[in-house]
A = this chain, B = another copy of it.
Amino acid sequence: MTAAAAQRPWGRVEFEERLRAVAEERYHDRHPFNIRMNEGRLSPAELRRWIINRFYYQRNIPVKDALITAKFDSPDLRRMWMRRIEDHDGREVGEGGIERWLRLGEAAGLDRAVLLSDTDVLPGVRLAVDGYVNFCRLRSPIEAVAASLTELSAPDLMRRRIEAFERHYPWIDAEGLVYFRARVRQGRRDSGETLPLVLSMARNRAEQEQAVAALAFKCEVLWSLLDAVDLAEQEIRW
């Protein structure tokens, strides 16, 4: 391939395929910790550690989404993106994804004050999540938006997770799983909006490559989060 061809923009189909390939191949559903979760091999202590640490990610989602909202100069795009903040914060007190995650914690025997205190969040989890928020703060609009495309793979993961929890972790009340159920629908709707947006935002090959790299980075964030949770458990076990 010549240098000129290398710079030619991918066609829409190829660009979408490349994004989908990253979202599929590098998604954290393949992480050993997630596989053990789905196979029912996590102890209650391991599951609680994951719930506490993943909450640090959950509570930062609206922050990164507000930072992305601030990158748009169009009311239509801001309105679209703000709906994600609402999904997590709720339209009213007692609603939203953050509240639902707190209820997951309670269903697993964790007081919400423990989750809200942040004190048990592992350093590696903090670095991964803060790194993601800063990526959305500092990078270009297309990079910040493309990083959200892990939602292409999220609905499948959520469906498998619900099945695994119902089957292997019956000590967690089914009421605690409402977060996962809501995300199946929200993830489908979000990716249905974000994918066309990323495809249309990229004006040249360089921006297409930045979008693919941003999505790969986001996969690494989620993977690193599970690495940190997994390793901490090993340290306890060995």
* Chain A residues engaging chain B, CB cutoff 8 angstroms: 59, 62-64, 66-67, 69-70, 73, 75-76, 78-79, 82, 85-86, 88-91, 93, 96, 98-99, 137
Q: Within the complex, which residue of B76, B86, B91, B93 is in contact with A93, where a contact is CB–CB below 8 Å?
A: B76
B85 touches A89 (CB 8 A): no
Find chain B residues with CB under 8 A from A64 CB: 70
Q: Given A59-B73, A73-B59, are A66 and B88 also a contact pair (CB < 8 Å)?
A: no
Find chain B residues with CB under 8 A from A137 CB: 70
Find chain B residues with CB under 8 A from A98 CB: 75
Find chain B residues with CB under 8 A from A67 CB: 66-67, 70
A69 touches B85 (CB 8 A): yes
Q: Within the complex, which residue of B63, B73, B76, B78 is in contact with A85, where a contact is CB–CB below 8 Å?
A: B78
Pairs A–B under 8 Å by Cβ, sample size 28: A59-B73, A62-B75, A62-B78, A63-B70, A63-B73, A64-B70, A66-B66, A66-B67, A66-B69, A66-B78, A67-B67, A67-B70, A69-B69, A75-B88, A75-B89, A75-B96, A75-B98, A75-B99, A76-B93, A78-B85, A78-B89, A79-B86, A79-B89, A79-B90, A79-B91, A82-B82, A82-B85, A82-B86
